[in-house]
Amino acid sequence: MRSRVEMCLVTIAASTALMQHAAAQSLPNLLPLPNPSGFLETYNTNNQPLDLTGPFFQSLGTNGRSCSSCHLPTEGWTVSAAEVALRFLFTQGLDPIFRTVDGSNCDHNIDTSTLEGRASAYSLLTSRGLIRIALAVPAGAEFTVVSVNNPYGCNETTTLSMYRRPLPATNLRFLSTVMLDGRESSPQTGTEKITYQTNPGDLIFDLGHQATDATTTHAQGAPPTAQQVEEIVNFETSLSTAQAIDFQAGALSAGGASGGPITLAAQPFFVGINDSFPSSFGFNPTGQAFNAMIFNLYAAWAGSSQAAKASIARGEALFNSLSITITGVAGINDVLGPSVTGTCGTCHDSPNVGNHSYPAPLNIGVGDLNSPLDVSYLPVITLMNNTTGEVVSTTDPGRAMVTGLWADIGKVKGPILRGLAARAPYFHNGSAQTLAEVVTFYNKRFNLNLSGQQQADLAAFLATL
């Protein structure tokens, strides 16, 4: 483990590089960008330098924000809480990410005229990297909002405030659904469900719709022009991002390993490519059975005399083979039965990518009040089933706010598991500050009984993705 001081130095180096590049017109292709466990690289599949002048980097709205206010190359194309905290210090909380529309904990009864006021108003953004997502309760929902207990005053019950991490705007061709709750891939919002038959046209359409929504909401602007939308989507879909160098293990594509973004850019994918549901569901169009060997990057390092390499290889093997008894997961156990024996890959099934290759909203309990991790900084939202009268409290109703379905409460997608080291904290609500805490979550939630060494191996592996 690296010391806190070293981690801080690396973060400062990253943001200094970022600030220098803010004035630059482009970033060299494959420029190694530092993060707490090594260097991340983005490969532009057009083989050109990364153009930093296009609409993705322009202020298209009225509040000074661009896509790159929340999706930065140095942070795996999202933001890390550490970088946002530094940005707050460097700009006294005046950088355009600090806007009350959705950057502050709540958008009313706050005072952003003083530094102290801003520090308090933007505390979830600087401590957890969270953006306030305000969504109206869908018409005809199967539930009624009984109460909202929001620590920051956003207690409205017709429009709910959720707090979510920006998702990486990279590696997008692997997506089987856009946004954590899939709301940009849903007929309810005028977008398209992503399917084997209609991909990639559906994805391109959804990303264009998403870019428009991002401009009108986050940037408080008029919709961008068709050409701006096309340029944004062309830009973000040409990016392939992965950790490339690990401080301890060295180059992640050396010695027979195949980490890094160039190999990732060549990774085959289609919707359902390795879906883990029984083939009778027909989610994998080829009908091929699920293969639990999800990651196949570091087998060559197994038993290496270098401790760091051996640990990463053990972590990968655990991801692929550790047996997990899956219980209480909405989206799996309500369909396949109360107890399903699986692995990490049951839910993270896309080969060498780790999202779900078929749209699969799941509730693993990250936003539940009894999550093994601290969620006390989040609102408590209480919903009642209009038919049965059943009552449920959660910190984020997830996909239910898109479909209105009771069964969808708390469901979100599993994100792509690449470029993780650059973008702490983790999970949709930032409740895991480190990858070690992600592992702690799984260890407790699914009673895995992992040894200290196994937990360290898994975290070391995740940091190399």
Per CB under 6 A, 84 contacts ligand HEC:
no
Number of residues that bind ligand HEC (CB under 6 A): 52
Using alpha carbons, select from 348, 331, 332, 318 the residue that is nearest to residue 448.
Answer: 318
Residues 6+ apart with CB under 8 A from 397: 160, 162, 381, 383, 408, 409, 410
Per CB under 6 A, 73 contacts ligand HEC:
no
Per CB under 6 A, 180 contacts ligand HEC:
yes
Give the residue, chosen from 167, 242, 313, 381, that forms a contact with ligand HEC under the rule CB under 6 A. Answer: 167
Per CB under 6 A, 324 contacts ligand HEC:
yes
DSSP structure string for 220-266? --PPPPHHHHHHHHHHHHTEEEEEEEETTTEETTSTT---SHHHHHT
Q: Residue 133 or 313: which CB sits closer to ligand HEC?
A: 133
Measured between alpha carbons, how far is residue 26 from residues 29, 30, 184, 238, 315 in Å? 9, 12, 29, 15, 36
Q: Are strands 38-44 and 33-35 parallel, antiparallel or unpaired?
A: antiparallel
What would the x/- binding string for ligand HEC be over residues 267 to 306, using CB under 6 A?
----------------------------------------
Q: Residue 9 or 134: which CB sits closer to ligand HEC?
A: 134
Q: Rounded to whole angstroms, how far apart are CA atoms 443 and 338?
A: 19
Give the residue, chosen from 329, 402, 422, 463, that forms a contact with ligand HEC under the rule CB under 6 A. Answer: 329
Stretch that binds ligand HEC, among 80-88, 189-197, 207-215, 262-270 (CB under 6 A): 207-215
Query: To the nearest whole angstrom, how small is the minimum distance from the Cβ of residue 389 to ligand HEC?
Result: 27
Q: Hey, which residues between 303 and 322 contact ligand HEC (CB under 6 A)?
A: 319
Per CB under 6 A, 346 contacts ligand HEC:
yes
Phi-psi map region of 174: left, alpha, beta (phi>0 left; psi -120 to 50 alpha): alpha
Q: Are 332 and 320 in contact (CB under 8 A)?
A: no
Calculated CA dihedral for residues 173, 301, 437, 382, nearest 10 degrees = 30
Binding site for ligand HEC (CB under 6 A): 65, 67, 69-71, 102, 131, 133, 164, 166-167, 169, 175, 178-181, 207, 210-211, 214-215, 218-219, 232, 236, 319, 324, 326, 329, 332, 342, 344, 346-348, 362, 364, 366-367, 412, 414-415, 417, 420, 426-428, 438, 442, 458, 462
